[in-house]
Structure formats: C-alpha cells, structure tokens
Structure 1
Amino acid sequence: MPLHYTLEQRRLSNGLRVVVQPDPTTPTVTVNLWVGVGSRHEEAGRTGFAHLFEHLMFQGSEHVANGEHFQALMGVGGRLNATTWFDRTNYFETVPTGALELALWLEADRHGRLLPALTQENLDNQRDVVKEEKRQRYDNQPYGTALARIYETLFPEGHPYHHSTIGSMADLDAASLQDVHDFYARHYAPDNTVLTLVGDVTVERAVALAETYLGPLQQRSEPRRPDLPQLPPLTTPARLEVTEEVPNDRIYLAFRLPVEGGASRHDFLAASMALDCLGALSFAPLEQRLVREEPLANSVDTSAMGFVDGVSLGLVVADVAEGVDPDRVEAVICEELERFAADGPSPQMMEAVLAQAERGWLSALAAQDERADLICHYTLLHDDPGYINTFLDQVAEVTPEQVRDAAREWLRPEQRAAVVYRAADGEHERPAGQNSAESDAGTDEENDQEVVA
C-alpha cells in the first residue's frame, strides 16, 4: 500500500522553504532546519568552518545568552541537537506543542542575528572545543580516521568530498573573526534553508508562525555553484596501508557510486541494493564465505552513502580474523564482487533486500524526529519532500538485472580504493604505505556526521 503522509510546502517571500507534516498523535512538534552548507562548500584553507558553526550556533545570538538555547528548550521538556555533514548542517529540536513559538523564536535569532554574539572569545573557545573533540573521537579512537583516509584516497585532490567534515585544525587556527563572520553571511540565509515542522500543528498555524518568526529575516546567501558532473569509477585500484595500535586488522574497500537524486536516482538505488545483496543479509555471499564458511573475518558490512555533488560512496568493511592475512580477505572479497557482477542477485536476495528496506524506512518514518529529518533531506538536496511517500515504490521497481548491471559498472575490483589497517603488534605487521592521502583529518561514526553534544 502506498504511503500517504500529508505534506504541505510553502516558500516565504525571503526564500525560506517551509514543509509541514501535521501529526496530532502526540502533543509535540519537531522543528528541523537544514542549511545548505556543509564541508563540501568550504574553500581550500578554510576547512572545518561548517562544523565550527554547528558549535557557534549554540553560543548565543543577539537576544540569547551563551548556552541559553539549550537551557530554555530543555527547561520545557524539549530535546535538541545539531549535526554537520558534507552537504548540509542541520539544527533540530522536539518540544511540547506549547513551546513551539519559543523554539521558532530561538531559531530565528541565531539564524538571522548571530553575529552580535560571535565574538573573538566565543570563536577561541569553540576552536578549542573542536580540537578536543577531534582528539577524543577521532585521533584517539581505533580506526577513528578511517573514513577521512577513504575520502582522501577515493576522491581526487580538490574535489568537494576529498576532506572530511572535521576539517583541518591548522585551518581553524588560522581563521580570523572576520573570516568566520563572512562564512556565516555567505551561507546562513533563509533562501539557503529548509524548515520542516512535524507534529501537533496545523498547516495554517505552522506557516503563520514561520512567517512571524523567520519571515522578517532578509539576508541572502551567495549564489550556489552547479553540482559537479558525475565522477567516473577508478580505472586502477588505489591503496593506503596504515599500521596503528588497533584491536585487529581491518579492510575498507571504497567505490565511487552514482549521485543520489535526479536522473541518477535509479542508478544509485540499484548500486545500493547491490551492496546490500553482497553483504547486508545473513545469507549474503560475503557474509557466508568470509564469516561462516572459511572463516576469514569476524564480521563484514556493506553500505552506500548518497551524495549530490558528482559522486556517492559505496563501502565494504571486513574485520579480519586473528591470524589471517588481510591480503587473503581482500582477494576473497574481490572474487565475490566478480562473481556477483557476472551472476547478479538471486530472487531470494532481492526479496530480502526489499523487505529490509521496507522495515528500515517505515521504522524511520514512525519516529517524528527522523521523519522531519528525512523530509528536510529530500527537500533541501532534491526538492522532493514527497520522496518519503515514494521511496519504497521506487525501490520495488528496481529489477535484478539493474542490480547486476550496477555491480558491473560501479563495483568491480579494479575500481576499489583500499584502506587497510594492520595492527601494530599483529602477526602481519609491515610499514604503512606512503601516500599523500594520509592526514590527520578525522571522522565520526559510519555516516561521519559531527554532533554538538
């Protein structure tokens, strides 16, 4: 049965897009704002600014004291946070219905009147916070820099996805207060923002409140450049070897995928489903051979990350079993990639992947805050808030032949970028490969989102 969440989209005169999804089942409202600025919008020498602003936005604004945003909303029973990613920064809170106006007033103040509170003291303080975050969550965590190394190995120098959202600490140290003010003025504007309201509010009231509190904001963002053309797969494998004190050897194989959305949306779905068939099922070939039959690995995972600026990312990750040579594990993965590209998925694989997609999608939509986030995602990046209702239909249209063809085009062994971690005290220790991609840039969990708290 098709999904039919009621959605209303309006654009205010200042360019702000407002999407409302009424849901009176609980007396709460989720307020979610996606700003069209992430690490891919940063300039050379100015990396880490998008994530820095995620922190600065909680340090006060013209009419709100430092820390008061959290205090005011948590004081009325709300929960809130923010994250940064390649393509956007988002700010969100779920509050009791009666606190909706408070939440919108607070958002309006920091999204339109942050600069009076953006002092040198606040900048210096939050730079130190970001540095400590990088030390604790990236540099001092096993495999903490893995995704950053993957981005730098898979995507060419100068590409917007070449560096991770945590950015360069040297760039942040070099940033002046004027640099930071300019970044805010270029990107934080209503015509570069989507506001989604999901919960116990009517469309009429939601739009009226958005107009009252965010309608007066009149700044304009800098013009957006067109997205880059599709980045083709690698023609020869790329490789980076890292020797560190990690619990076990681990292999990351990364692949360039079609962009998510637009004319490539179907191609991205097919490639994503190919990865699910390969490793995200209990009877998937990588799981069966590497973990259950031989066994060569403690675990294997596959995933796809959808991006919009010329490329997406596919991953195969294997935790190597004790005493096993990682090169053997990598060779087996490559054999299974070749076999899948030749044979394609079985009917049982397709059925299981579709069921898995349905379960995950419906579970996400059942949560008010996750539903608001998905609406913001597909509105800001794809101008399609209704995608929450059509996603499962589009997945169901993908054929086994299209999944096989996607694997043949995007997931061949020669197209891989391998980042291999070898335990420093392991049996197969050898010096890390020298590669200009190796850096101090950090990464978060699988989706690499930076979180305030």
Structure 2
Amino acid sequence: MGMAGLAGTFTATEHRLANGLRVVLSEDHIDPVAAVCLWYDVGSRHERPGRTGLAHLFEHLMFQGSANVHGNQHFEFVQSAGGSLNGTTSFERTNYFETMPAHQLELALWLEADRMGGLLAALTQESLDNQRDVVKNERRQRYDNVPYGTAWERLVAMAFPAGHPYHHMPIGSMADLDATTLADCQEFFRTYYAPNNAVLTIVGDIDPEQTLAWVEKYFGTIPAHDAKPTPADGALPDSIGGELRETVVEDVPSRSLMAAYRLPVDGTRAADAAELALTVLGEGEACRLNRRLVRHDELAVYAGFGIMRLAGAPSVALLDVKASGDADIAAVDAAVNEELARFAAEGPTAEELERAQAQIERGWLDRMATVGGRADELCRYAVLFGDPKLAFTALDQVLEITAEEVKDVAGRLLPENRAVLVYELAEEDSDGTDPDSDTDREGQAA
C-alpha cells in the first residue's frame, strides 16, 4: 500500500528526567537541521469557568521574555540563528517549536528551558496587559469582525453543552480575558508549565548522547509540580440526540449552511473510519458533496466536510456549504441529508475508499517528511495516547480500515446528531461569490 513501509525507517527513543520531563529523540541525518517540539498537556479544556482563554493567553506570554531572555529576544535569537519558530493552542494542548540549523540545537534547548523554568521571573502586570490586548485584538480580527468568524465557535458551543470542558474555544471570551489577574496567570503557569506535564521531542541531525546531556543540563534542574487538578470529564453520548439549529442574519458574502456532528474519540479505529468517510464525502473536487451540490444541482459554490479529532471528548465533523446566489437553504439542506443518508446506507465504493486512503497517506507523508512535522506527531502521540511510537504506525491503521467500518461510522452523520448553523443575508444583494474562507479545523489559535 504505497509508502507505508517508510515507518520502518523511523526510529525514536524515550527518556525521562528525574523531574518527570519526557524526552523523545529521533535521529535523521538527511539534512543538517534539528527540530525541537514541546507539548504541554494543557489546553482550553483545562480552564475554569470564568477564566477561559488562559491557555491561549499563555502561548503569547511565553514569547514575552523569561529569566534570561528579555522582551522579544526569543524570536530574535532563533531567527538570527537561521531558525523558525511558533506556538499554537488547541482544546487539548499547547505546543512550542523551533526548527534550527543542527549546530544551533543547544540554543533552542536553552531558550525553551529558560521559559519553562523562568517565565514567572519576567511575568509582570505590564506584559500581561500588553498580551491581553494582543489576544483581544486577535479575537476581533479572526473571530468577531470577519464573515463567518464566529461560526465554528457557535457550532462547538452547540455540539458540547454548557459546562462541558470543550464548550468554549481556545480564543476565550473578552469578559474572561478582562477578568484575568496576574495571580491567575502565576497559578496557571505553576500548575501546568511543569516538566512532568510536558513532552520534549528532538528530531533531526542530532547526536543523541550530546543532546540528552544538554537536556539534562538545562531542564534537569526545573522542579516538578504535582498539584495538577484532574481535568473535567469530556465523555458524552455518541449522538447530540436531536437537531439543534441557530440562524444568524449577517452581511456575509453568501448564505451558508454549516453543521457539526459528534464522532468517535481520537485514537480509535472508528475515528480513522470517520476521517475516511469525511474524506470521501467532503475533501477535494471528486468528493460526493461537491459532485452533488456544486456540479450537479448547482446549489452551492463550495461544499466541504472535515474532522476535528479530539482525544478527551467526541471528535467533531464540520460541514461547510456556501450556497450559490439564489439557492434555497432548505434545498441545500435536503440535498446534503439525502447524500449522507445514501452514504450511510451504501458505504464507500472500493475506488472511493482507496482514493481516500491515498489522500490521508499523502497528508501523513507530508507531515513525516519534515523534522518539525515528525517532532509534532511524536509529541502528539506521547501526550494524548502515551506512546510516541504510535506516530509511526498511525498510517498502517488507516490503510486497514474496511468499507464496512466506514459505512458503520457514516451512520452517525444523520439529522438527529447535528448542530446546524445557517447564515442568511442581511440584505438580498449578494452576488454569491465564494468567500474562500478556510475553517480552522484544528480549533487552534495561533
């Protein structure tokens, strides 16, 4: 089945420091580069009600200086050394990463250790106020002031009931951000930014012995912290148990039908089957929804379906259909439901399944082909599923999924398991052009 055998060429070794930091090393001498990736086991699902947005706010604060690194120096040090870097926040984790020329690996490790061990030394009311404003501005620019900007937030809030740890997005609310104090931040950091709540992965042109010595030197002295509360349980029934519907009247480029469905949790064969089902239905020109709604019925200018995999709660399918100029939303809805019912009854053809598996294989190979992508996958499987090496065999499982398994999980994509969001136009003079809005399916705030 293609290049699945590539997994056999990857290796990884696991180590644990006395303070609980898990370290994963993966040697690859093809290019003289090294990737450093740190996943902290903290995301928006760990936040307390009334203090949403803290996980994402911290992703910003982590770039504002620490014990020996001042202001914007983290960026400056990495970029002047020829490296690249970033951080992102999701429901389930916060990650930080650098890709460096191999001889600059020690610098990246020193920088990451300085903020893990010494962020609070530099955290001031001023830096908090400054980054809170940056995040509120990001919220305005990415959510509140763009067409369909709050769509995903609204759908998630319907798919996960009030009080559920996944009910709110990582971006947080303006009111909660305003209410956050310096003391809240200090407590949050001490609780979650501890070495025993993190996985550090280093991939690329490395000398494992030297690398471990550096990790021990810079991270080994950071004390563990054992007071992390048990996160709220994210378990829910398989189905939403009916249809929830919300209509928004807004000045958007075209009327739209969006929906969220509950799916199996990540890390299971059923989640892989769900991703295959959504690939057949809603990824690419040849997918079923595009063929039916865009090409055949001409009801839509865009129809897509994707998955947000979640490990601590049901994963979510996200449907996004942008209606063409004068199409009736009820007709769009009927066509979607007809296609989904047909797919649940018949399952995929052998050709569709093979093509979907090939698409997922290509995505996996793209991620594994770069040291940064591979480091991220190793962190993901270590943090969410306990074993980084599962990253190497994840593709094999996808390629084993049968048409019957895909058909089975497609049975969840029915009206009694969905939250629906309809956008109607504020005034009827739209030309119905595609706003080219790519939904952030990871639920990440960058």
TM over 0.5: yes
Q: Does 1:86 align with 2:81?
A: no
Report SS of the residue matched to 1:14. coil
Residue matched to 1:16:
21
Report SS of the residue matched to 1:212. helix
Please, what TM-score do these two structures have when normalized by structure 1?
0.93
Residues 7-406 of structure 1 correspond to what in structure 2 (within 5 A)? 7-225=12-230, 227-261=233-267, 265-406=268-409
Aligned partners of 1:239 and 1:356: how far apart in 2? Answer: 32
Which moved further from structure 2: 36-45 or 226-235? 226-235
Aligned partners of 1:289 and 1:351: how far apart in 2? Answer: 20
Amino acid at match of 2:54: F
Amino acid at match of 1:446: R
Amino acid at match of 2:328: D
CA displacement at 1:221 relative to structure 2:
4.5
Q: Does 1:412 align with 2:407?
A: no
2:445 to 442, 445, 450: 450
Aligned partners of 1:123 and 1:285: how far apart in 2? Answer: 48
Aligned partners of 2:107 and 2:83: how far apart in 1? Answer: 11
Report SS of the residue matched to 1:237. strand
Aligned partners of 1:312 and 1:73: how far apart in 2? Answer: 35
CA displacement at 1:272 relative to structure 2:
1.6
CA displacement at 1:281 relative to structure 2:
4.5
Report SS of the residue matched to 1:416. strand
Aligned partners of 1:156 and 1:316: how far apart in 2? Answer: 19
- CA offsets, 1:226-252, max 9 Å, x none? 653343211110111111111101111
CA displacement at 1:206 relative to structure 2:
2.1
Please, what TM-score do these two structures have when normalized by structure 2?
0.94
CA displacement at 1:19 relative to structure 2:
0.7
CA displacement at 1:97 relative to structure 2:
1.5
Taking a change above 3 Å as real, the CA distance of residues 177 and 252 of structure 1, as seen in their structure-2 partners, is: same
CA displacement at 1:444 relative to structure 2:
7.1
Report SS of the residue matched to 1:113. helix
CA displacement at 1:155 relative to structure 2:
0.8
Aligned partners of 1:228 and 1:446: how far apart in 2? Answer: 19
Check whether the contact 2:307–2:441 (CA below 8 A) recurs between aligned residues: no
Amino acid at match of 2:310: F
Residue matched to 1:435:
none
Aligned partners of 1:231 and 1:194: how far apart in 2? Answer: 31
Residue matched to 2:424:
422
Unaligned stretches of 5+ residues in structure 2: 431-437
Aligned partners of 2:126 and 2:439: how far apart in 1? Answer: 27
Which moved further from structure 2: 370-379 or 84-93? 370-379
Taking a change above 3 Å as real, the CA distance of residues 284 and 368 of structure 1, as seen in their structure-2 partners, is: same
CA displacement at 1:276 relative to structure 2:
1.3
Aligned partners of 1:426 and 1:371: how far apart in 2? Answer: 48
Amino acid at match of 1:6: T
Aligned length, in residue pairs: 433
Aligned partners of 1:214 and 1:155: how far apart in 2? Answer: 38
Percentage identity across paired residues of the two chains:
48
Check whether the contact 2:16–2:22 (CA below 8 A) recurs between aligned residues: yes
Check whether the contact 2:250–2:426 (CA below 8 A) recurs between aligned residues: yes
Residue matched to 1:438:
none
Check whether the contact 2:255–2:323 (CA below 8 A) recurs between aligned residues: yes
Check whether the contact 1:338–1:413 (CA below 8 A) recurs between aligned residues: no
CA displacement at 1:445 relative to structure 2:
2.6
CA displacement at 1:202 relative to structure 2:
2.4
Residue matched to 2:433:
none
Report SS of the residue matched to 2:416. helix
Report SS of the residue matched to 1:104. helix
Check whether the contact 1:131–1:169 (CA below 8 A) recurs between aligned residues: yes
